[in-house]
Structures are given as structure tokens and as C-alpha cells.
Amino acid sequence: MSMRFTTEADWDDKGRYKSLVFHFWLTLYPDGDMKLSRGEPSVERTGRKMKMELRVPKAVFQTPELKATVTIADPGDTTYKIDAEAAAEALRASLGVDVDVRVIPPTGVE
């Protein structure tokens, strides 16, 4: 599969390009699915999109094989404490109506 990406070049002082810069989006899903796109994707609730920039030096085109590893650091504790009563009270105060606010954990995410 071949895709055209937004590309720019870094130039040296003699007008020769030193490297190419590719811009794209990587979308990851908890079921192991992954999508690559040129433009910013819309993502379902469990998916995560990541804007990527790939800088490739000119010398890389002299190499028979390329390998890269992208590691994303663990964000740590991602639990959230939501005070449903405070949220309902804030909505009641701003809208003037009683609102039933419930916190429901997402399905399909560990």
C-alpha cells in the first residue's frame, strides 16, 4: 500500500536537501487495530490518535533496510474521580433544571 503524505524538506546551505519530513496520523485501538492516515482522523471513544512527524535523512536511502521502534510512555494512573452530585448541582444552577448525572465506565476497555 502506498500513500502520499504531507512532505517537506530540510535544506543545507548549498540548496541540497538533508532530510525529508513526513507528517501523518496514527490511530490506535485497544483491540490491537491500527490505522494510518494523512489527515486528522475522527476516532471512536476507545481509540487514540497521535500526530506523527517522521524525519528521514537523505543517507537513509542508501540503506537496504530500515527499522524503527516507537515507544509511548505509560501515562500513569488514568483513573478519574467524578463527583456526579457536584456535576448535577452545577447543571441545575446553570440550566435551572434537575439533571440525572451518572458515571458509567466504558465497555471494552480494561
pLDDT tens digits along 20-53:
888 899 999 999 999 999 889 998 888 999 999 8
**110/107 Cα distance (integer angstroms):** 8
51-98 pLDDT per residue, tens:
998 888 888 888 778 888 888 888 777 777 778 888 888 888 888 888
| Residues 54, 60, 64, 66, CA torsion sign | negative
* pTM for the predicted model, two decimal places: 0.55
Joined together, the cell numbers standing for residue 83 give 463527583
Give the model's pLDDT for residue 33: 93
